[in-house]
A and B are shown apart, each in its own frame.
Chain A
Amino acid sequence: MNTTSGTHSHSISVRDLTLNFGAVSVLKNLNLDVAEGEFIVLLGPSGCGKSTLLNCLAGLLDVSDGQIFIKDRNVTWAEPSDRGIGMVFQSYALYPQMTVRGNLSFGLKNAKMPQPEIDKRVARAAEILQIEPLLDRKPGALSGGQRQRVAIGRALVRDVDVFLFDEPLSNLDAKLRSELRVEIKRLHSRLNNTMVYVTHDQIEALTLADRIAVMRGGLIQQLDAPQVIYNRPANLFVAGFIGSPSMNFLHGETIDGGRAFQFGPTRIDLSDYDGGAVGARPKAILGLRPEHLDIQEHEEPGSTIPAVVEIDEPMGADSLVWLKANGTHMSVRVEVERRMKPGTPVFLKVDIAKASIFDAGTEQRI
């Protein structure tokens, strides 16, 4: 008990995890605690180490240093099948020569489970995922969405507490992807087990996660609820990675002891800023999401930026207007009915309470 006391009540605990491939360090002293029943999404660009971390959790990669606990048990050296995890892969990884039933029961047979129990579990998983009519087909005769359901079923029959998803929806087309996304969320609320989900798709991350871990270069940049990640990104990387189109970054300086932001000739009042003490910084970055700006005809000193419309992109539900302000390209989200003519001079109203200010040197949010 004394070896696990520090990890009590966590479903997964990663302690100082390091993984080196030769001279390349893929994960660096990584720590992560996942609570019971929590849905954690590991999000980041390719090569950030998110899939590597998941493979370490699964036991498919040997770690160089550090420890992994699952359900308060040290599994750092345990075989994948002995860790109490189920895993779903991007390419489904169904055994092509076996029927769906064979795929679902393969792991249970390896565990020498009695046949009646296997039948019971397969039937339950098939019922939950609505794949009963497919049980005697082979994977080759299934559609992509059906295959991924079977792959989820294979994790389900193991009756484990922890599900690991490795970009499970990346091989599906857009429509199926959103359908299965909802289904995974439904599954989570029904089973209420711990899920760790790797993706590079921020929509999946924002919609599914209880908490998102944004990763870069083998390190977790920020671990927080989706809304916090979106509204109060910890640093410039997280701010730029989350949100589509990207957050607008205005390079300037903070003046008057941090009471205002000077962007070229424009002065923006910071008294409503929601963050730490800004102070005077000769180099700072003001981050504004496209939906936290509004286009208007009249100037309001201290809270508007003069800009010129370059182009507008109607996107169905809303419309994106691209403008140029003081040499910087910016995007603003407006109602779709509002069409803007290129070359029109306008003023951008800044909602400073929802903005983020970053130190240009440390790239951290202030």
Chain B
Amino acid sequence: MADTRIMAGPRGAKPRRILAPANIMLYGTLIVAAMYYALPLYVMIVTSLKGMPEIRLGNVFAPPLEVTFEPWVKAWSTACTGINCDGLSRGFWNSVQILIPSVILSIAIASVNGYALSYWKFKGSELFFAILMIGAFIPYQVMLYPIVLVLKNVGDFFGFQLYGTLGGLVIVHTIFGMPILTLLFRNYFAALPEELFKAARVDGARFWGIFFKIMLPMALPIFVVAMILQVTGIWNDFLFGVIYTKPDIYPMTVQLNNIVNSVQGVKEYNVNMAATLLTGLVPLTIYFISGKLFVRGIAAGAVKG
């Protein structure tokens, strides 16, 4: 009798209620958060595909009655900023010319920095690292004008223009990326088993041999992280772009601002929306592409020898 009662009790997997209060709270919050980000994006896409007459109706959430790509074309190739009327395309190529060397240069230097600081400790290396870290906490604004002077004087000294050129801006981005990237790489390399480094030394590899043959292949995940950080950071930069370049070579963000904030004529909301989406496309693409790479990188790095 007692046995049958025990056997009639709970058995197997515990049932879970889908509409439990906890689930409602959780998914409710998630949906609200998702809406918060998705709704403005929706409005931007919808508006960029409408013609001006349709926008004047004032119904921002309505889907376009007549889909037109005119605003996108205009934003890319004919929108005016000041006297230039060749759209965002000019800014796009400027940004690309700033982005590629800045990302490569900053990551290349920072990865060697991080490697050296975690494996080849020298006298004062801790102090060097501390000073580098302080750099990460000083507000940019403090350094804006001194860097203008540095660029001007260094340029004068070597007899070429640095201030107001793309090269100057690349140097600025590289320097400002250094503290956080070095920290990133140092911590990553410090977390790798030190015996690997010792084994490589017994095997006769030296500074660069160990870096290229042992450390780099294991550091793919952190390179992807650093790349995401730098690409989005440099692409989205506005302040340095305004200060250290001039109108002809303004990066895309500065040009976007100039298009959207131009005071003459009618406000073309559809063109502005299209221009904004175009500018945001690069970081967006990077996230989508590197997201997969990132996961693969982690999976490849997870196997410890």
Least CB separation from B220: chain A residue: A97
Least CB separation from A106: chain B residue: B203
CB-based contact B202/A107 at 8 Å: yes
Least CB separation from B193: chain A residue: A91
Least CB separation from A155: chain B residue: B202
Is A85 an interface residue when CB atoms closer than 8 A count as contact? yes
Question: What is the CA–CA distance of A68 and B213 in the complex, to the nearest angstrom?
Answer: 30
Is B239 an interface residue when CB atoms closer than 8 A count as contact? no
Which residues B189-211 have CB closer than 8 A to chain A?
193, 195-196, 198-205, 209
Least CB separation from A55: chain B residue: B198
Is B178 an interface residue when CB atoms closer than 8 A count as contact? no
CB-based contact A81/B305 at 8 Å: no
CB-based contact B202/A96 at 8 Å: no
CB-based contact B205/A93 at 8 Å: no
- Quick one: CB contact mask for A57-79 with B, threshold 8 Å, 1 for yes? 01110000000000000000001
Is B218 an interface residue when CB atoms closer than 8 A count as contact? yes
Of B195, B202, B209, most buried by chain A (CB within 10 Å of CB) is B202
Is B292 an interface residue when CB atoms closer than 8 A count as contact? no
Is A44 an interface residue when CB atoms closer than 8 A count as contact? no
Given contacts A89-B198, A89-B199, A110-B209, contact A138 B303 (CB under 8 A): yes
CB-based contact A110/B195 at 8 Å: no
Instruction: Give every chain B residue within 8 A of A139 (Cβ-Cβ).
Output: 303, 305
- Quick one: CB contact mask for B207-231 with A, threshold 8 Å, 1 for yes? 0010001100110000000000000
Which residues A93-140 have CB closer than 8 A to chain B?
93-97, 106-107, 110-111, 138-140
Is A153 an interface residue when CB atoms closer than 8 A count as contact? no
From A90, A106, A140, contact of B195 by CB (8 A): A90
Question: What is the CA–CA distance of A140 and B301 in the complex, to the nearest angstrom?
Answer: 10
From B196, B200, B305, contact of A140 by CB (8 A): B305
CB-based contact A110/B305 at 8 Å: no
CB-based contact B218/A97 at 8 Å: yes
Question: What is the CA–CA distance of A110 and B200 in the complex, to the nearest angstrom?
Answer: 10
From B198, B209, B303, contact of A96 by CB (8 A): B303
CB-based contact A60/B198 at 8 Å: yes
Is A165 an interface residue when CB atoms closer than 8 A count as contact? no
CB-based contact B205/A110 at 8 Å: yes
CB-based contact B202/A80 at 8 Å: yes
CB-based contact B201/A81 at 8 Å: yes
CB-based contact A106/B201 at 8 Å: no
Instruction: Give every chain A residue within 8 A of B209 (Cβ-Cβ).
Output: 110
- Quick one: CB contact mask for A294-320 with B, threshold 8 Å, 1 for yes? 000000000000000000000000000
Least CB separation from A102: chain B residue: B213
Is A86 an interface residue when CB atoms closer than 8 A count as contact? yes
Measured CB to CB, the residues of A under 8 A from B are: 55, 58-60, 79-81, 85-87, 89-97, 106-107, 110-111, 138-140, 147, 154, 166
